[in-house]
A and B are shown apart, each in its own frame.
Chain A
Amino acid sequence: MTKPILSIQDISKRFGSTQALDSVSLDFYPGEVHALLGENGAGKSTLIKILTGIYQADSGSITFEDRPIVVRNSFDAQGHGIAAIHQEPMIFPDLNVAENIFISHRNRGQIVNWRKMYADAEEILSRLDISLDVRSPALGLTLASQQAVEIAKAISLDVKVLIMDEPTASLSAHESEQLFKLVRSLRQQGVSIVYISHRMEEVFALGDRVSVLRDGKLISTAPASEVTPEAAISDMVGRQLGDTITRTDNERGETRLVVSNLTKNNVFKDVNFEVKAGEVLGFAGLVGSGRTDVGLALFGIAPADSGSIAFAGETVNIRSPQQAVGLGIAYVTEDRRGLGLSMPMSIQSNITLPLLQKYLTRLGLLKTNDERDTAESFRKRLNIRTPNVDTVVGNLSGGNQQKVMLSKWLNIKPKLLILDEPTRGIDVGAKAEVHQIINELAAEGIAIIMISSDLPEVLAMSDRILVMREGRQMGIFSGESASQESVMTAAMGQANLSLGEAV
């Protein structure tokens, strides 16, 4: 076996009371894809940030080509040929593609030679088989193209170790395939690739070596051929899976929502479905397939262009979230931090926000006692683990934040609850609790739409599953007829589909 190009020995890092990394040692070899697995908070991001100089390790050492190195900032990392492609691409929207590739180069002379830069950029892109106009501004590029630019940037810097943090999280199936081709060609050129992903198929299709982190510790590291997905998962979660909560059946009420030919130009087209009271309709599909956009149209954030929505028997034209809330439609966003919760404010203030007018006196003053009562009741009902409801939401764990967000929307007594990735980024225990809550809410007669990328979750928790791909509805599976394979095939659109029991 060749010698490792990059090794880390006994790296530890502590943030306040959390041990983010605990004496982790790993070797990375040239021409190898090293897959790094772990749940959220396992320490993967911290490790990347230490390798790229954004954080400094508390202890331990990094060896590059047999020499110990110090990475103080990303410029140091670049100097050693270490580069990272982050989850959200680090793109300069106002600069064009070529400039984005070369902006951090320091050896291209004192004067920008635009013609040479365009030629060089074109050369690199064609070497990678990426077809992009080097003169077009990065502003309008799709996420996939932005990632391609980032990879080209890394290549142009003569990268030896390339770290990719969930690069496919926002890509369509086709775009992901393109990316895999790129990764393989880089491996062939002798680049050492650190590949982080939650998608097992990818990890085992691409990875030569698989390492698992849990709670900041290295649990296992082995050649991919010697690891099974099941073993990797059990290393990640620390126990065997199988005790997840499943859907408990309950009575269905009247048809609550009927959506016909709902269309938003360039986003989604001809979506048709209905949801009954007490039913959970799962929305499956890859990120970017239009699932969230349908949810946003129903909630009035980005209203549809055509088609009709009948809610509780009446045709409605939802143009704003205020109107949706008034009708009893709640949308629990996937982006807690950016869209869901006001992080610097208290649990109590967050929970009462959508229905604030209920907590006002005639003069418009807040009835803080009523607010507190409401918040307290949700704290008990959803088991939000916090000493009191004055706690600032930003200080809660992901799971507890998710529960605050649920409380906020349950408080409007919704007739239709749209859950977007309800268990993303929360730990296993909280996930089971959220699933339990979903069951209870359905039993209370709430119609639920659950958008999720977590396929086992969709299969376990939905009564029926609507699958979307690239803005089109691919079909609706009944709970029994759906399997991981059939849903995935519909979502990825790889084979000719026989859309089983499409309703």
Chain B
Amino acid sequence: MNRKSLIDRLLQWETLLAIIFVVVVLINISLSPFYLSLQNQVNLFHLSIEKIIVALVMTLIIINAEIDLSVASIMGLAACVFAFVWDDGFTLGTAISAALLVGALAGAINGFFVAYVGLPSLVVTLAGLIAYRGLARVLVEDRSIGDFPEGFDALGQDPLFGPLTFGIILFFIGLAIMIVVLQRSGFGRKTYVVGNSIEVAEYSGVNAKRLKMILFILSGLVSAIAGILIAARLGAVRGSTAEGFELDIITMVLLGGVSIFGGSGTLTGVGLAILIILNMRNGMSLANVSGNAQTGVIGLLLILSVLVPNLLQWVQTKLNDPRTSGQT
């Protein structure tokens, strides 16, 4: 309620995440000597690079009190557009531009229905999830398109700077830019204001609709970039490319402490959550835990991250004042 406890809780949150991270790292070290090797550390980012790039924009979307379920489908669609255009004999540049354009357009369609028609983003982007995936399948049907130029595949697979791949560099540049945008720019400030209350924003002369529109276009565009990256990393594209990624991406953001109701959360938290998830998955892989079980553990972590603070708070009020129990 008062300022101190709010800050306390924020501190608690990020401290909590940091502690979990340290614990995960320690367990991983004990699991395998290979864990700390440079190759493994790079790999751990490399294998999930598309998801964590999109998580950066998803953070802004959820802070803005919306959600974008269609990101993975846009990734798939952009990858398919890229492959389709390339396969049709156009240049690499044309193929990439077409993919980016389609991604931005898909985002713009989401944004239009959310911001200007006023429909709930949960439903609009659910429709997007299904429809964009459908369009991707219309393009490549049940084929697999590959045979991209070597330079393009190398961009997705080979180290570019030291041991780092292009995608990893892109992620860290993106993270730096997004932190500045969210914490230090007028756009970031407005994102929080609109997320807290769209009415307050509009009564303050903020063009909340345009802001939402821009965010969804950005989300589509970044998803398209991620889609092209995955095409390069895997060297081939199918209709099902990136299917189901949205849940992982949203989990990263929510675990990072971004409120599902909007208005609060930081990229520091999301960054920590990404580190936790990637390292946990890596550690579990080293311990031969199956991919699905890994997802289960992360799902459990997601629920506990909200449940435990709630329970603690409940216990605290119970202890402090038995009479006020039962009220929230």
* B170-202 interface bits toward A, Cβ cutoff 8 Å, 1 = contact, 0 = none: 000000000010001111011011001101111
Q: Tell me whether A344 and B263 are in contact (CB under 8 A).
A: yes
Q: Mark A53-93, 1 if CB is under 8 A from B, else 0.
A: 01111100000000000001100000000000000000000
Question: Are A353 and B3 in contact (CB-based, < 8 A)?
Answer: no
Choice from A333, A360, A395 contacting B3 with Cβ under 8 Å: A395
B193 touches A345 (CB 8 A): yes
By the criterion CB–CB under 8 Å, are B186 and A357 in contact? yes
* Min CB–CB distance A122 → chain B (angstroms): 37
Please give me the residue from chain A that is nearest to B187 by CB atom: A364
Note all chain B residues with C-beta closer than 8 A to A343: 196
- B327 contacts A by Cβ under 8 Å: yes
B6's contact among A54, A342, A392, by CB below 8 Å, is which?
A392
Q: Which residues of B contact A395 (CB under 8 A)?
A: 2-3
Q: Are the C-beta atoms of B326 and A72 separated by less than 8 Å? A: yes
Per the bound structure, the CA–CA distance linking A345 and B264 in Å amounts to 10
Q: What is the minimal beta-carbon distance from B193 to any residue of chain A, in angstroms?
A: 5
Q: Which B residues are in CB contact (< 8 Å) with A360?
A: 185-186
A320 to B76 alpha-carbon distance, docked (Å): 38
Q: In whole Å, how far is B35's beta carbon from the nearest beta carbon of chain A?
A: 39
Question: Which of A341, A366, A391 has a CB less than 8 Å from the CB of B184?
Answer: A366
- A340–B46 Cα gap in the complex (Å)? 46
B203 adjacent to A333 (CB under 8 Å): yes
A324 lies within 8 A of chain B by Cβ: yes
Selected contact of A339 from candidates B2, B193, B203, CB within 8 Å = B203
Closest beta carbon of chain B to A440's beta carbon, Å:
23
Q: Are B186 and A364 in contact (CB under 8 A)?
A: yes
Name the residue in B186, B196, B205 with the highest tally of chain A Cβ atoms < 10 Å from its Cβ.
Answer: B205
Which residues on A sit within 8 Å (CB–CB) of B186?
Answer: 356-357, 359-360, 364-366
Given A366-B189, A395-B2, are A301 and B327 neighbors across the interface (CB < 8 Å)?
A: no
B3 touches A365 (CB 8 A): no
Question: Chain B's nearest CB lies how many Å from the CB of A333?
Answer: 6
Instruction: Give the distance to chain B from A451, nearest Cβ to Cβ, in Å.
Output: 15
Say how far B15's CB is from chain A's closest CB, in angstroms. 20
Q: Is A307 an interface position by the 8 A CB rule? A: no
Q: Does A43 contact B (CB under 8 A)?
A: no
List the B residue with the shortest CB-CB distance to A395.
Answer: B3
Which A residues are in CB contact (< 8 Å) with B6?
A: 344, 392
Which residue of chain A is the closest to B325 with respect to CB atoms?
A: A56
* B143: Cβ under 8 A from any A Cβ: no
With A301-B202, A339-B200, A366-B184 already in contact, the answer to whether A56 and B323 are too (CB < 8 A) is: yes
Residues on A with beta carbons closer than 8 Å to the beta carbon of B203: 301, 321, 331, 333, 339-340
* B292 CB-CB contact with A under 8 Å: no
| A345-B323 in contact given A354-B205, A360-B186, A392-B3 (Cβ < 8 Å) | no
CB distance from B318 to the nearest CB of A (A): 13
- Does B30 touch A at the CB level, under 8 Å? no
B 240-281 to A, binary, CB cutoff 8 A, 1 in contact else 0:
000000000000000000000001100000000000000000
Residue contact B180 to A365, C-beta cutoff 8 Å? yes
How many angstroms between the C-alpha atoms of A118 and B189 in the bound complex? 52
Interface contact B190-A339, CB-CB below 8 Å: no
Is B206 located at the chain interface by the 8 A CB criterion?
yes
Taking a contact as CB atoms under 8 Å apart, the answer to whether B327 and A54 are in contact is yes
Q: Which one of A321, A354, A359 has the highest number of Cβ atoms from chain B below 10 Å of its Cβ?
A: A321
Prevailing SS type, chain B contact patch: helix
**B204 interface residue (CB < 8 Å to A):** yes
Given A56-B323, A365-B180, A366-B189: A338 touches B3 (CB 8 Å cut-off): no
Given A366-B185, A392-B6, A321 contacting B193 (CB threshold 8 A): no
Distance between Cα atoms of A153 and B322 in the complex (Å) = 32
**Inside 8 A of A474's CB, which chain B residues have their CB?**
none
Q: A365 CA to B187 CA in the complex, in Å?
A: 8
B207 at the interface (CB under 8 A from A): yes
Specify the chain B residue showing the minimal Cβ separation from A73: B326
- In the complex the two chains form, what is the Cα distance from A71 to B197 in whole Å? 35
Is the CB–CB distance between A408 and B204 below 8 Å? yes
**B residues near A331, Cβ cutoff 8 Å:** 203
Q: Which of A346-385 contact B (CB under 8 A)?
A: 349, 353-354, 356-357, 359-360, 363-366
- Nearest to B192 among chain A residues (CB) is A345
Contacts of B37 in A (CB 8 A): none
Residue of B nearest to A359 (CB): B186
Q: Which residues of B contact A321 (CB under 8 A)?
A: 202-205
Asked if A156 is an interface residue, CB under 8 A from chain B, the answer is no
Question: Quick check: is A317 within 8 A (CB to CB) of the other chain?
Answer: no
The tally of residues in A whose CB lies under 8 Å from a CB in B reads 39
User: Is B2 in contact with A325, judged by CB distance below 8 angstroms?
Assistant: no
Asked if A339 and B323 sit within 8 Å, CB to CB, the answer is no
Q: Judge if B324 is at the interface, Cβ distance under 8 Å.
A: yes
Question: What's the least CB distance linking A474 to chain B, in Å?
Answer: 28
**Which residues of chain B are near A359, meaning CB under 8 Å?**
186
Bound-complex Cα distance A387 to B199 (A): 28
With A322-B205, A391-B3 already in contact, the answer to whether A344 and B196 are too (CB < 8 A) is: yes
- C-alpha spacing A354/B263, complex, angstroms: 18
The smallest C-beta distance from A323 to any residue of chain B, in angstroms, reads 9
Alpha-carbon gap, A365 to B186, bound state (A): 6
What are the residues of chain B within 8 A of A57 when measuring CB–CB? 323
- Decide: B185 and A365 in contact? CB cutoff 8 A: yes
Q: Do A353 and B204 touch across chains, with their CB atoms under 8 A apart?
A: yes
Q: Find the residue from B186, B203, B204 having the highest chain A CB count within 10 A.
A: B204
Most buried by B among A54, A56, A301, A359: A56
A57 to B187, CA, bound (A): 46
Q: Which residues 278-324 of A sit at the B interface, judged by CB distance below 8 A? A: 301, 320-322, 324
What sequence of 0s and 1s flags, for each residue 197-222 of chain B, a beta carbon within 8 Å of any chain A beta carbon?
A: 10111111111000000000000000
Query: Roughly how many angstroms separate A408 CA and B205 CA in the complex, as a whole number?
Result: 11
Q: Which residue of B lies closest to A321 (CB)?
A: B205
Q: What chain B residues lie within 8 Å of A339 (beta carbons)?
A: 197, 199-200, 203
CB–CB B197/A342 < 8 A: yes
State the Cβ distance, A307 to closest chain B Cβ, in Å: 23
Pick the contact of A324: B180, B199, B205 (CB < 8 A): B205
CB distance from B30 to the nearest CB of A (A): 41
* Interchain CA distance A317-B197 in the complex, whole Å: 27
Question: Which of B185, B206, B263, B326 lies in contact with A353, CB distance below 8 A?
Answer: B206
Query: Quick check: A353 and B323 within 8 Å, CB to CB?
Result: no
**B327:A354 contact, CB within 8 angstroms:** no
Distance of A322 Cα from B211 Cα, bound (Å): 13
Cα separation A324 to B199 with both chains bound (whole Å) = 16
* CB proximity of B116 to chain A, nearest CB, Å: 13
The complex places the Cα of A387 from the Cα of B326 at a distance, in Å, of 35
Contact with A along B1-21 (1 / 0, CB 8 A): 111001000000000000000
- Chain A residue nearest to B7 in the complex (CB): A392
Q: What A residues does B192 contact at CB under 8 A?
A: 342, 345
Q: Which 7 A-B pairs have the closest CB atoms?
A: A325-B205, A321-B205, A354-B205, A339-B203, A56-B323, A353-B204, A360-B186
A-B contact list, 17 entries, CB within 8 Å: A55-B324, A56-B323, A72-B326, A73-B326, A322-B207, A324-B205, A325-B205, A331-B203, A342-B192, A344-B6, A345-B193, A353-B189, A353-B204, A354-B204, A356-B190, A356-B206, A366-B189
* A-to-B contact residues, CB < 8 Å: 16, 54-58, 72-73, 301, 320-322, 324-325, 331, 333, 338-345, 349, 353-354, 356-357, 359-360, 363-366, 391-392, 395, 408
Knowing that A331-B203, A365-B180 touch, tell me 8 more A-B residue pairs with CB under 8 angstroms: A54-B327, A321-B204, A333-B203, A342-B193, A345-B192, A353-B193, A354-B204, A408-B204
